[in-house]
Structure 1
Amino acid sequence: MTASPQTGDPPVRRWLTLAVVSVSLLVVGLDTTVLNVALPTLVGELGASTSQLQWIVDSYALMSGSLVLFCGSLADRLGRKWIFMTGLALFTVASAVAAYAGSVTTLVLARGAMGVGEALIMPATLAVIGNVFPRGAERTKAIGVWSAAVGVGTVIGPMVGGWMLSHYWWGSVFLINLPVGIAGLVAAALLVPDSRAPERGRLDPAGALLSVVAVASVLWAVIEGPDRGWTSAAVSAAFVAGAFLLVVFLAWQRRAASPMLPLRIFRYRALAAGDLLVLLGAFALIGTLFVVVQHFQFVLGYSAGQTGVRLGPAALMLLVAGPLAGVLAPRLGMRTVSALGLALLSASAAVLATTEATDGYDRPLVAMLLLGAGAGFVITATSDAIVGSLPETDLGVGSATNSAAIQLGAATGVAVMGSLLSDRYRSGLDATPASVPDGLLASAKESLGSALALAERLPGEAGPGLAEAARRAFVDGMGPAMFTGAGVTAAGVLLALLLAPSRGADPTATTHSKDTP
């Protein structure tokens, strides 16, 4: 195994290693959301249907979320540097394929391959940081930079996508990955040290298969729930199958000689609490971005590029809050910093929940500042606690639980908040002027974008009347969606105060240990 920081790695090299993995990770985070602003363009360019648009986005999340635990275990066994580089190479090649995709099927497959790349990259980067930086303030600061890269990439995705679309064709949103990916591979080969678990067991193919299918079943149900109906036969069957396979997976991990996911790691209080809290934070962050991008474009009337600029304050606050949390966490403890971050996320959602159709950008600006600050605090505090609680043996797979929690929280946030928004929006359109025929009204209920496009073609006062009614219905739908986000993160504040370790507690303490005063 490569020498650890305690055995003499130069400090400059450690920070160069951090720069390599963070820049690579920023691009990965960017691709989580960069395509959102290009979806309307894909309807015209590729003839994509609504369901196909959904899978262009969701194939990425499905592959990443379902494979990340397996990829984390591979990193521990085969080498974190090489798993990171493999993921980055796959991500780069798949980005090139996506940029020049000539059909929906090709784009969906390319996005799925990019998701596999992310599954290889995410846990490996966090495990590399855990190995390279010694425990304490220096590692916490490094994870603050890492978390800022994760969050900022996610937030600036629509900004970059909007700018690229205003200058180039839709596939250009993926081309930024190519130079960064190639440069990242060269830099990683030179600067990133390799490390493996000191005691490497054999691979666990049965556990890997069970985990992938179980997580994929649950994610598929969460993704399809809003469209098919949460109680539909297919969604219910997927939830049941996922739950059953999860139970089988846990039973297998208990008896396997070399388990893919050693269940003993969940005895570490910081890891168990960190996974739960970052899941709740991702629920609010990604769910809010999903709603607010539509609000900026369709209600406030901003272009894709202008929408990206309006998201800039959130990215700026993330850049500040991530490293700041890395400074505050050793002084205040995970409990205080994560609770503060979740409280800020709750406040952001509450501001958006009480926004009126006649409000301009002022209230969303406040919400964006709170959103970025809250996400930076939550991701840094929880990620640092998770890595700090783990022995070298489990850095890869333990880091993967953090990535899996983020993916599940993000998918659930979009599904739940998007479903609540859609339900209220559709019911709100029932009050539209009688001059809109029922057949056209049904089309308008598909989305606010569809309603506005339809309104432009209606004669006389019917068009402006439908547009106004649709915008009001959308903003009314933001209420229950955003209040749900506020409630989930408010509950997270309470859970942080009850479950997270206090300042001065041993980060490697198990759930049976008591906090240090």
Structure 2
Amino acid sequence: MPTPPPAPTTRRWWVLTVLCLSVLLVSIDNTIVNVALPTLSRELSASTSDLQWVVDGYTLAFAALLLLGGALGDRFGRRRVLQAGLLGFALTSALASMAASTDQLIAGRAAMGVAAAAIYPATLALLVTTFTDRRERATALGVWSAVTGLSVAIGPVTGGLLLEHFAWGSVFLVNLPIAAVALVAGRLLVPESRSARAHGFDLGGAAASVLGIGLLVWTTIEAPGHGWGSATTLGGYAAAVLVLAAFVARELRTPEPLLDVRLFRDPRVSVGSGAIALAFFSLFGFIFMITQYFQSVRGYGTLTAGVATLPFATVIAVTAPLAIVAMRAVGTKLVVAAGLATMAAGFVVATGTTLESAYWGRIVLAMVLMAAGLGLVTSPATEAVMGALRGDQAGAGSAVNDTVREVGGTLGVAVVGSVLSTVYGPAVVDGLTAAGAPAQAAEGAADSVFAGLAVAGQVPGNATEAVRQAFLDGVSAGSWVCAVASAVGAVVVLAFLPARHRLPEPTAEPVPAPA
């Protein structure tokens, strides 16, 4: 089935509403669980590594299967795959809500990620094929990106509100009514679309991408426990590099690749994708830390911790649409580079946070800068990637865009979380031992900041302050990692991203002649 003629103007914007609702559903689950991490740490006795896997179990499966999800949409129909993904997301959310152990929860989150991988690329591919006029498409992408950015704050706020009144499983059950609305509305409003060119399935490429990304993330998360210079860590990284290299070699040889890696020869695709990856690497890594900071260092409840992230939502809602206006005025290069530089400034501000720092001061300023930067990056960079491709490449382009976003976010949680653990662990052991805690109890406190606070509560003196300071040292180190990643991205964008598009206006996908 080829892509249908463009829908009437009013219908197109209703289609965008359905697509944004669908992408909001899966994007919120990137962050909604963060505010529940302290609860999970207490009720399921989860360590910092366990908490990283609760977050990354979802994003890892999500990221690793996005390429396959995009290919399935191209072949079988993007609306059909979107609908199947929404149904699967509702079912797996219900399963995750009933988990009785950390392992069961991680498995449930991974299953949710599989379903999300069917939803996300379909939304962007359907948007591109629905909005064929470049100016309309840029506006629609601005709205789509704003919704994705808003989820960064909507997730923690929603999670905090639910945890204030219900058990932690409610953060997953809330997905069911949203999925039901998206399913019905999608069936009624969204036209079917698929690539006019039939493609086979590159199962070998899919397996290699899943294995390579999985090895990379697993090694990073487990590195603090094994040691960064251990044989396990070095061997894991070496194996990940070899598998990913084999994936690239296979994709260059096969006539029907899962991912046409030649697309990355175009700097709009490679540099635009890299900017998105670094922005979400930094953001997701920081969100993993800040939600724990609000509850462990500042002592906020779950709802207050969620509400404390609202500056993200407010600023992104303003800057994401303005980014498209700015892009038309000064070009993609300057807007995306400015966005990454602004994010870097926000992370640098965060590195100076102390136990006495006021929320309405350094904390809010840091979040405002990060959110403004993210709003400036996402829409123009996504437009750069998608604007470089033909209509029949919409599925591949959306899969590339979504994969780098999720891989970046997944590695952000893994790398920043591991840096946090590496700094926090030895510092909290030293601090608690100096405060008089037994050696065995101090060692157990290294598992997570919440375990540390539990131990400190049984030790007289300033043991609690020692735990909070150790955690804050880890947050500072993680923030420096985010700052450097964003700053490097800004320099690369200035050096290599073309200033403006040079392609002619896109046309609808070719319709094959009747047999």
Shift of 1:409: 1.4
Whichever residue aligns with residue 233 of structure 1, its letter is: A
3-state SS, counterpart of residue 169 of structure 2 = helix
CA distance in 1, matches of 2:209, 2:140: 30
**1:400 alignment counterpart:** 399
* 1:333 corresponds to 2:331: yes
**1:453 alignment counterpart:** 454
Counterparts in 2 of 1:112 and 1:507: CA distance versus 1, 3 Å: farther
CA distance in 2, matches of 1:308, 1:214: 34
Counterpart mapping for 1:490-509 below 5 A: 490-503=487-500, 505-506=502-503
CA distance in 2, matches of 1:242, 1:101: 30
Counterpart mapping for 1:164-243 below 5 A: 164-243=162-241
User: CA offsets, 1:38-88, max 9 Å, x none?
Assistant: 233334544556554443332212211111111112222221111111111
User: CA offsets, 1:417-446, max 9 Å, x none?
Assistant: 222233332343324534222222222233
Whichever residue aligns with residue 438 of structure 1, its letter is: A
Equivalent of residue 481 in structure 1, options 475, 478, 481: 478
Counterparts in 2 of 1:255 and 1:369: CA distance versus 1, 3 Å: same
3-state SS, counterpart of residue 86 of structure 1 = helix
CA distance in 2, matches of 1:93, 1:507: 43
Counterpart mapping for 1:3-402 below 5 A: 3=3, 7-46=5-44, 48=46, 51-361=49-359, 362-402=361-401
Counterparts in 2 of 1:385 and 1:294: CA distance versus 1, 3 Å: same
3-state SS, counterpart of residue 170 of structure 1 = coil
**1:468 alignment counterpart:** 465
Counterparts in 2 of 1:101 and 1:426: CA distance versus 1, 3 Å: closer
Whichever residue aligns with residue 448 of structure 2, its letter is: S
Counterparts in 2 of 1:44 and 1:246: CA distance versus 1, 3 Å: closer
Shift of 1:125: 0.9
RMSD value, Cα? 2.1
Whichever residue aligns with residue 377 of structure 1, its letter is: L
Tell me if the contact between 1:143 and 1:384 (Cα under 8 Å) persists in the aligned partners. Answer: yes
Whichever residue aligns with residue 25 of structure 1, its letter is: V
Shift of 1:104: 3.7
Shift of 1:291: 1.5
3-state SS, counterpart of residue 301 of structure 1 = coil
**2:511 alignment counterpart:** none
Tell me if the contact between 1:344 and 1:371 (Cα under 8 Å) persists in the aligned partners. Answer: yes
TM-score (norm 2): 0.92
**2:439 alignment counterpart:** 438
Counterparts in 2 of 1:415 and 1:108: CA distance versus 1, 3 Å: closer
CA distance in 2, matches of 1:223, 1:57: 11
Structure 1: stretches of 5+ with no match in the other structure:
510-517
3-state SS, counterpart of residue 384 of structure 1 = helix
Whichever residue aligns with residue 397 of structure 2, its letter is: G
TM-score (norm 1): 0.92
Tell me if the contact between 2:154 and 2:313 (Cα under 8 Å) persists in the aligned partners. Answer: yes
CA distance in 1, matches of 2:278, 2:442: 36
Structure 2: stretches of 5+ with no match in the other structure:
507-515
CA distance in 2, matches of 1:350, 1:507: 40
Counterparts in 2 of 1:160 and 1:226: CA distance versus 1, 3 Å: farther
Tell me if the contact between 1:69 and 1:397 (Cα under 8 Å) persists in the aligned partners. Answer: yes
CA distance in 2, matches of 1:181, 1:286: 24
Tell me if the contact between 2:221 and 2:417 (Cα under 8 Å) persists in the aligned partners. Answer: no
Query: Which segment drifts farther, 431-440 or 304-313?
Result: 431-440
User: CA offsets, 1:276-300, max 9 Å, x none?
Assistant: 1111101111111111112211111
**2:424 alignment counterpart:** 425
CA distance in 2, matches of 1:49, 1:350: 28
Tell me if the contact between 1:68 and 1:403 (Cα under 8 Å) persists in the aligned partners. Answer: yes
User: CA offsets, 1:113-139, max 9 Å, x none?
Assistant: 110011111111111111111242211
Whichever residue aligns with residue 145 of structure 1, its letter is: V
Tell me if the contact between 1:155 and 1:311 (Cα under 8 Å) persists in the aligned partners. Answer: yes
User: CA offsets, 1:196-249, max 9 Å, x none?
Assistant: 112122222222222222222222223323333333333333322222222222
Tell me if the contact between 1:422 and 1:477 (Cα under 8 Å) persists in the aligned partners. Answer: yes
Shift of 1:2: 5.2
CA distance in 2, matches of 1:325, 1:160: 27
Counterparts in 2 of 1:367 and 1:507: CA distance versus 1, 3 Å: farther
Whichever residue aligns with residue 403 of structure 2, its letter is: A
Counterparts in 2 of 1:488 and 1:71: CA distance versus 1, 3 Å: same
Tell me if the contact between 2:339 and 2:376 (Cα under 8 Å) persists in the aligned partners. Answer: yes
Tell me if the contact between 1:388 and 1:507 (Cα under 8 Å) persists in the aligned partners. Answer: no
Count of residue pairs the alignment pairs up: 503
Counterparts in 2 of 1:185 and 1:322: CA distance versus 1, 3 Å: same
3-state SS, counterpart of residue 9 of structure 1 = coil
Counterparts in 2 of 1:294 and 1:103: CA distance versus 1, 3 Å: closer
CA distance in 1, matches of 2:226, 2:328: 46
Query: Which segment drifts farther, 304-313 or 386-395?
Result: 386-395
Tell me if the contact between 1:225 and 1:415 (Cα under 8 Å) persists in the aligned partners. Answer: no
Shift of 1:303: 1.0
Tell me if the contact between 1:81 and 1:195 (Cα under 8 Å) persists in the aligned partners. Answer: yes
Name segments (4+ residues, structure 1) moved above 6 Å: none
CA distance in 2, matches of 1:248, 1:338: 32
Shift of 1:304: 1.1
User: CA offsets, 1:17-56, max 9 Å, x none?
Assistant: 1111111211211111212222333345445565544433
CA distance in 1, matches of 2:144, 2:481: 28
Tell me if the contact between 1:140 and 1:327 (Cα under 8 Å) persists in the aligned partners. Answer: no
CA distance in 1, matches of 2:410, 2:300: 26
Tell me if the contact between 1:335 and 1:502 (Cα under 8 Å) persists in the aligned partners. Answer: yes
Whichever residue aligns with residue 418 of structure 1, its letter is: G
Shift of 1:146: 0.9
Shift of 1:180: 0.7
3-state SS, counterpart of residue 467 of structure 1 = helix
Counterparts in 2 of 1:146 and 1:95: CA distance versus 1, 3 Å: same
CA distance in 2, matches of 1:41, 1:294: 11
